[in-house]
Structure 1
Amino acid sequence: MFEINGFDTAGVVSLKRLSLAAALKKAKELTEDGCWDVQVVDPAGRVYTRSRSRPPSRPALPGHSNHHQRPFPRLSASADV
């Protein structure tokens, strides 16, 4: 059995196919449908990747930005707590 693993907006995707050709075809379909980190693992443990390394970017919600939040500021050792 060949395992196809990846991620979509609902979480983990895990499928199996009997042949490498069928597994690679399904991996291609998943990637085209928006899945990411898609890989095929053969019975010997070899990994075939066909993937984006991160989820597709989404447009910002109204009133929000797509920028990451800044980390909390560091307190100096002399700061009064």
Structure 2
Amino acid sequence: MPNHKYRGYDIIKSSRISPYTGKPEWEIPAEEDFQSRYQDTLADARARIDRIIKEEAAWKAQRPVILDGLAQMLVRSK
């Protein structure tokens, strides 16, 4: 059961007692937990980048049509 967050990761109270304070220490969950969360965020970032690239490609494909429409509007307004 997480008791605290550190940089978005759950931190739990350890069963280990600190020799300095005499209280339970906080510990970060096992490395594989970090790896799985990192992979999730990496996959999310890759999906976001792919979506941006596709949107950019779609915009570039529509760009001549948009510019042509703007040019026609300018010619008509004169």
Q: Which has the higher helix share?
A: 2
**Larger RCO: 1 or 2 (CA < 8 Å, sep 6+):** 1
Q: TM-score, normalised by structure 1?
A: 0.29
Q: TM-score, normalised by structure 2?
A: 0.30
Q: Which has the higher strand share?
A: 1
